[in-house]
Structure 1
């Protein structure tokens, strides 16, 4: 287990720069998640840390060691891919133990490490099965087990749950969270799914076009987004953003050109008592919650999270009231203007 430090790392593919001078300190034992839209560079950055992509400029330090030019097999890292990459003709036991067998470890040592990985991942009952006899979640646990036995410096996960259905994703999120609690290893995880990021990460790194838009805990990113990009990327449904002059009764700091309010920080109130008036366009019923989508004149379309049993219906008119301490303000460049 070790810390990882990125110092001004860049990645160029010909004349195209995809990673643009990233600086990041990852503490020993920390669970870091890279998120961002497709093409933002999150998988490329992970592969650079793994040594699977050459670093064009900058340094990658693993512990106190400069690993920038080291090949993947010298970095002491274990990578879990989106594809399970299991050997179909081998049993679970053989798949998990294969890296150790290839390294020439004695069979008793291999058996001990494989048994411990099976215990941690609850694979004991499946050790004699072939991959074809396993569910997607079980196959992913086998792939993770193959990494665990190597006792790596850090684990790297490249969208490991993207091939699973919704129920299995929830199950595997729990498994990975428990794994981190058990092993206390450094983990770097790439996903485009903000739910995975919010529920698993100690800190989230939000990437935008090859640069870091913000680094922080899930709560920090949710409550104090640094800019419009982070504000609308973190949170589901996304934050409502509208011109500051569309809600003249809302106090905003000097220089604010747009305001942002999350759907859960808006209340539907009787006409004449709120800061915006709107007409209900659509309701999205989700059981405990309903998302009410309203047309609000100059403010455009506003989404409000209300109780699932709401009596609102399309065509109704109502006012909206914002929680006073939950309104975000942004300047002309989209930079947040925090109010003390």
Structure 2
């Protein structure tokens, strides 16, 4: 239960098209994350799956059944929103079981399901408290518990952690990952935070302007991005991109050195080189692939981020161990890991 298929799905608001012909398969039990910048259509796509928005064109299937015209109540899904939407005058127990009560489920069955959900979510000690006596993370767990007791074929999460502080977001990421492992239920999760996407997902769907840019595992998207947009969106800090030229099997950077170009036999000609901040090492000034001046050094404990102004080029970010000390104003050379460089053509497509 919980396999979802989207076939050429479109959404129009008047003359504005916000979802542009999306095809997507979500397998039973997968944890799939929709990620992308604000306005890319990820929340709208989730609402189309849930039935909260009407599909303009295309079809949505759940377990091979066409549900495109069904209301939310007929789709067998549970949704967890950014806001907790708890009833302040009700206890945790009453909030979690409220949907079952309104559906006419017997009290003994409600109690059993509420207790089971509370055990999974570590809410046993809070069942008789009201929401005002809970932390933000506990309130979000109550909202998730309300979804669990319905025993849906899939859970839909719409940016559920965005109202929490940084420490609680880390804690709740762990809780949601543990919940997925425990339940084995299909989960679709919307976020603008690519760190959440990388740490939680079995499969990431990267969206931009209502279209899918790439679908794959976190490792696939990090190591083999299809285009420049995905390359810079996935990975934190984001990938550095520099103009380059190629002659034969050698690439070069304007005013700097170069190295081996591994795609010399392919017809596409690269115009940009991408290298992640963690895939560079420091050498002496005038050595390596390029040189520059350290403008800012941000010490973060385990890591230090160096903002290096390259001679004749732009400023790039270099990630080094926090145990290394590089002073601001220092002249350094940089060597790229040539096995982990990325090249892009004039249409921003990756060359492989």
1:305 Cα offset (Å): 0.5
Counterpart of 1:319 in structure 2 is: 333
Distance (whole Å) between structure 2 residues aligned to residue 203 and residue 196 of structure 1? 12
Q: Which residue of the partner structure matches residue 288 of structure 2?
A: 274
User: Could you tell me which residue of structure 2 aligns to residue 18 of structure 1?
Assistant: 18
Aligned length: 338
Equivalence for 1:293: 307
Quote the Cα distance in structure 1 between the aligned partners of 2:195 and 2:118. Answer: 27
Residue of structure 2 equivalent to 1:242: 242
Aligned to 1:263: 277
Matched, 1:306 2:326: no
DSSP-derived class of the 2:347 partner: coil
Distance across 2 between alignment mates of 1:248 and 1:36: 35
Deviations 1:28-63, CA, capped at 9 Å, x for gaps: 000000000000000000000000001000010001
Query: Which residue pairs with 2:72 in the alignment?
Result: 72
1:18-167 mapped onto 2 (5 Å cutoff): 18-167=18-167
RMSD between superposed Cα atoms in Å: 0.9
Q: Distance in 1 between matches of 2:312 and 2:117?
A: 58
C-alpha distance after superposition, 1:68-122 (max 9, x if no partner): 0100000000000000000000000000000110110111111100000000001
Q: Distance in 1 between matches of 2:106 and 2:326?
A: 69
C-alpha separation in 2, matches of 1:146 and 1:199: 24
Match of 2:345 among 328, 331, 334: 331
In the TM superposition, 1:205-244 aligns within 5 A as: 205-244=205-244
Which residue matches 2:249? none
Runs of 4+ in structure 1 over 4 Å off: none
CA distance in structure 2 between the partners assigned to 1:312 and 1:120 by the alignment: 47
TM-score (norm 2): 0.95
Normalised by the size of structure 1, how large is the TM-score?
Answer: 0.98
Superposition deviation, residue 301 in structure 1: 1.0
- Measured against aligned partners, the alpha-carbon deviations of 1:190-236 in whole angstroms (never above 9, x if no partner) come to 00011110000000000000000000000000000100000000111
Which residue of structure 1 aligns with residue 175 of structure 2?
175
Q: Secondary structure at the match of 1:299?
A: coil
User: 1:250: Cα distance to partner?
Assistant: 2.5
Structure 2 unpaired stretches of 5+? 246-252
Q: What CA distance in whole angstroms lies between the structure 2 residues aligned with 1:248 and 1:275?
A: 5
| 8 Å Cα contact 2:285/2:292 also seen in 1 | no
Corresponding residue SS for 2:45: helix
Report the Cα offset of residue 248 of structure 1.
Answer: 4.8
- Ranges in structure 1 where 5+ consecutive residues have no aligned partner: none
Q: Secondary structure at the match of 2:132?
A: helix
